Structures are given as structure tokens and as C-alpha cells.
């Protein structure tokens, strides 16, 4: 008899807890728990058409996609200021309310926690990129105690050779690389 009472009390408690926690989610502002948030991080110096491809392909998977722009990459000194890079990306996605652009300093996992993202989106162009991103994914999973997973998107074949480094190098030698940089369309002004 004791086991029946104990079992009944457990299920009664579990039902009450579930009902209180989730049935009134909107009233208690827990609705965002069900929102799927992805995080796409990078230096984006500059934001290329390859980056844009990854964002547009990842967006259908999420209710919200945060583009985290690295503000302090020790491996890449002399970057364009973070606010300039952010403004360029914000202009590109001005008509897409599900995309937010934010700067971050430190680890991507810390930004993921702050933004409530359980998925980090990364683009992969080659085996070299894959190996690097695989190692980062393992470290991120370890640091986050399994709360953050990494989703890899393979570059479209015609974009596989495009990188921010390539764009910067072409510009350094005075060549026009604007076709490789994602830019918001210029709006015509009516007179």
C-alpha cells in the first residue's frame, strides 16, 4: 500500500510541476524557452558572400539567429573596428527581424549562454576547416557541459574558395574584391 501512495504522490507532484511550469508559460514569460536560437560567430572582416550563404541556409532552422562578431581576435590583429563590421552586417539583414548582430569578446560559448543559444553554426570550406571546427566543437561541448552543439554547413561549391583573408589580400594588392563581399542592395531614392 505504501508503494501505491508513494507512486501516486510522485505522479501528482510531477503533473503539478509540469502544469505550473509550462501550461502558463506565456503568462510567466517562459515562452522564449521554446525559441530555437542559433549563433553564427566569426571575425567577418569582411562579411563575404560565403558567410551570407551560411546565414541564409541556417536561418530556416531557427526562430532567431544571432551573428556574433568577434571584437578581439588575438590571432588577427589590425582588424576593421567591430562596430564597422557590425553595421555592414546589420544593413545586409535590415529586413530580417529574426537576425540580430552582436559584438562579443571572449569565448563563443559564453555568448551562446548569454543569448540562450544551444547551437553554434559554422561554415566549412575544406578538410582543413573541418578539422579546425571539429576540434572547436568538441571544446565548446566540453566547456558548456553538453549544452551547446555545433552545426556545420558545407560551403556551396562555387563559394568554397572565398574567404575574408582572400578578400583582404586582393584589396591589399589594389584589386576589386567587391563581388566577394556581401553588401546590402543600394536603395534607389525617389525624387
User: What separation, in Å, do the N-terminal and C-terminal C-alpha atoms of the chain show?
Assistant: 85
Q: Which of 179, 183, 164 is nearest to 89 (CA)?
A: 183
Residue 43, pLDDT > 70, answer yes
Residue 27, pLDDT > 70, answer no
Q: Could you tell me the CA-to-CA distances from 97 to 8, 25, 56, 59, 119 in Å, in that order?
A: 47, 23, 13, 11, 19
Separation of alpha carbons 78 and 149, rounded Å: 31
Q: What is the dihedral of CA 91, 96, 99, 102, to 10 degrees?
A: 20
What local confidence, expressed as pLDDT, does residue 188 receive? 56
Which helix (H) or strand (E) segment is 56 a member of? helix 49-58
The pLDDT confidence band at residue 22, using thresholds 50, 70 and 90, is: very low
User: Of 8-17, 31-40, 85-94, 156-165, which range is least confident?
Assistant: 8-17
Separation of alpha carbons 62 and 76, rounded Å: 30
Separation of alpha carbons 165 and 42, rounded Å: 12
DSSP, collapsed to helix, strand or coil, labels residue 34 as helix
191 vs 75, which has greater pLDDT? Answer: 75
Classify residue 42 as exposed, middle or buried by CB count within 10 Å of its CB (0-12, 13-18, 19+): buried
Output DSSP code: residue 48.
B
Grid coordinates representing 146?
A: 553538453
32 vs 45, which has greater pLDDT? Answer: 45
Output DSSP code: residue 30.
-
Residue 3, pLDDT > 70, answer no
* 182 contacts 47 by C-beta, under 8 angstroms: yes
Could you report the per-residue pLDDT of 136-190, keeping only the tens digit for each?
999 999 999 999 999 999 999 999 999 999 999 999 999 999 999 998 776 655 5
Amino acid at each position: 500500500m505504501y508503494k501505491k501512495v508513494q507512486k501516486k504522490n510522485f505522479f501528482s507532484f510531477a503533473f503539478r510541476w509540469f502544469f505550473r511550469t509550462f501550461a502558463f508559460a506565456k503568462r510567466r514569460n517562459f515562452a522564449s524557452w521554446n525559441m530555437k536560437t542559433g549563433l553564427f560567430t566569426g571575425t567577418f572582416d569582411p562579411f563575404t558572400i560565403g558567410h551570407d550563404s551560411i546565414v541564409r541556409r541556417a536561418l530556416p532552422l531557427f526562430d532567431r539567429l544571432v551573428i556574433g562578431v568577434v571584437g578581439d581576435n588575438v590571432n588577427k590583429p589590425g582588424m576593421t573596428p567591430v562596430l564597422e563590421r557590425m553595421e555592414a552586417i546589420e544593413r545586409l539583414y535590415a529586413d530580417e527581424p529574426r537576425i540580430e548582430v552582436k559584438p562579443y569578446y571572449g569565448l563563443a560559448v559564453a555568448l551562446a549562454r548569454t543569448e540562450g543559444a544551444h547551437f553554434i553554426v559554422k561554415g566549412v570550406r575544406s578538410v582543413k576547416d573541418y578539422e579546425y571546427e571539429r576540434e572547436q566543437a568538441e571544446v565548446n561541448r566540453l566547456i558548456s557541459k553538453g549544452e551547446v552543439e555545433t552545426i556545420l554547413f558545407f560551403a556551396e561549391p562555387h563559394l568554397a574558395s572565398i574567404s575574408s583573408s582572400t578578400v583582404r589580400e586582393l584589396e591589399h594588392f589594389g584589386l576589386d574584391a567587391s563581388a566577394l563581399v556581401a553588401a546590402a542592395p543600394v536603395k534607389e531614392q525617389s525624387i
